[in-house]
Structure 1
């Protein structure tokens, strides 16, 4: 599991429940931004926005923690859009409900859904990480919609995992590598630079959470053995198990 340590426990539990051995090897970590002036300005002017758009759990957590700290509440006066079911569940934990959730849990589907309900001149606040994709804000601006891209957290490479990662691959200690974002793929390749890791991955199953992550894997010449139809952690895990069952049959 290559996702951030704070997010790995749920997947670990699911893997154990299905008879697997979870190996947590975070390749990415998140931290709050140091200068919060832009965040505070956005929060104090939240009433001027028509929509609040979240595309990740971290976006919700970092923004709403600052929002609650500054206002004393998590009540949001504008409509809220989320990218998927898991993101919606996190929102519910804060006592909020999503007004819009796309059919497919990817940014492109969320963009399509937003364009069907947004009107020219409306204002959108988009809390995000510093490495977030820009497909949504760029396309909304092309349709004359104002978007404030607000960095509420920073993604950092987890350099401490470098040696553990290489040794695990070298000694064939892992059977499956799961990628839950393009950032984890980028960091995987970056951390292994200068080693002969590609000579030792022949038996490893590489799993992607969805098409955007798969595209990044292909860019780095990594095989995509698994990509679920439902772009969620559970969907990916189910697809991994199906893949392993097929291998055993062969």
Structure 2
């Protein structure tokens, strides 16, 4: 039975000679690029997101000052973890303030970032999306209605889906949304854009809805259509896939789990004809 994306050394790499454009934040490019190259791909790194710390720290500082008042702190990305912990360190806030707080991480990468910082993670959902967090919280409490009156902190991006805070508030929880960082368009390499439009890659990989939205902004309508018509698209997670399909492009490759490892496995399986 095959056990990894590079299982059989006697087989040619499944992505051999294929040009794969990775639309991602810079922080995810290295891991994805390394994995794709092991599969034989010729990777075209294409940063579509620049992550920036929120300049105004007033809200973050207020949340840190009231940290002991929260029942749950829910992290939906590794970036949220990084910038929240960075501000704690800058403020000299001791780690023992986490002791009585329950912490939820959206997925294994986010949980690992917290554990690396010495934070106990109480909950990781089976499905690594906001809906999965809601199901996990409901299961752990015997229903979301049991969260009535609970104060919940949500460190996240400046712009993000509202289903998590909206649903928790509807259940009676008090949710404080805490923007710690923002996703902005990076500087565009116009020569690279022209090259992509002239000779689209065989595969385009998107790692989040923001990467899709920014890719569309960078290329523009006609250029985006031209690339989509000639490329196979892979998406990391169902939310990303939905954003792609809203632009009229079918997603051919969608991993079972919202992780880089699962994405690489899905790409390998697709091109092996499995």
Task: Report deviation, 1:243.
Answer: 1.4
In structure 2, the CA distance between the partners of 1:166 and 1:71, relative to structure 1 (3 Å rule), is: same
Query: Partners in 1 of 2:103 and 2:239 — Cα distance?
Result: 23
What is the Cα deviation at residue 196 of structure 1? 3.4
C-alpha distance in 1 between matches for 2:95 and 2:24? 27
Provide the aligned C-alpha RMSD in A. Answer: 1.7
Task: Look up the match of 1:39.
Answer: 60
Contact 2:196–2:227 (8 Å) recurs in 1: no
Aligned to 1:52: 73
Aligned: 1:177 with 2:192:
no
1:157 matched residue in structure 2: 185
Cα displacement (A) at 1:240: 1.1
Q: 1:166 to 1:219 in 2, by over 3 A?
A: farther
Deviations 1:175-199 (A, max 9, x none): 2111111111111111111543423
Residue in 2 aligned with 1:16? Answer: 37
Check conservation: 1:74, 1:94, Cα contact below 8 A.
Answer: no
Corresponding position of 2:153: 125
Q: What is aligned with 1:135?
A: 163
Aligned to 2:135: 112
After superposition, the C-alpha distances for 1:112-149 in whole angstroms (9 at most, x for unaligned) are: 11233252101100000011111110000001100000
Displacement of 1:72 in angstroms is: 4.3
Distance 2:70 2:93 in 1: 19
Higher CA-based Rg: 2
> Structure 1 stretch 51-60 or stretch 71-80: which is displaced more?
71-80
Deviations 1:92-117 (A, max 9, x none): 22112210111111110111112332
**1:224 is the counterpart of 2:251:** yes
Distance in 2, Cα, partners of 1:119 & 1:157? 37
Q: Matched residue of 1:149: which SS?
A: strand
TM-score, normalization: structure 2? 0.84
Distance between the aligned counterparts of 2:59 and 2:171, measured in 1? 24
Runs of 4+ with deviation above 4 angstroms: none
Q: Contact 1:230 / 1:236 at 8 angstroms: preserved in 2?
A: yes
Is there any run of 5+ residues in structure 2 with no aligned partner, and where? 1-21
- 1:39/1:17 Cα in 2 relative to 1: closer, same or farther (>3 Å)? same
The question of whether the paired residues in 1 share the 8 Å contact of 2:197 and 2:223 is answered with no
> Which string of whole-angstrom CA distances, capped at 9 and with x for unpartnered residues, describes residues 32-89 of structure 1?
1111011001001100101100010101111111112213444423110011112111
In 2: Cα distance, 1:241 partner to 1:209 partner: 14
Question: What TM-score does the superposition give when structure 1 sets the normalisation length?
Answer: 0.92
Does structure 2 conserve the Cα–Cα contact (< 8 Å) formed by 1:2 and 1:184? Answer: yes
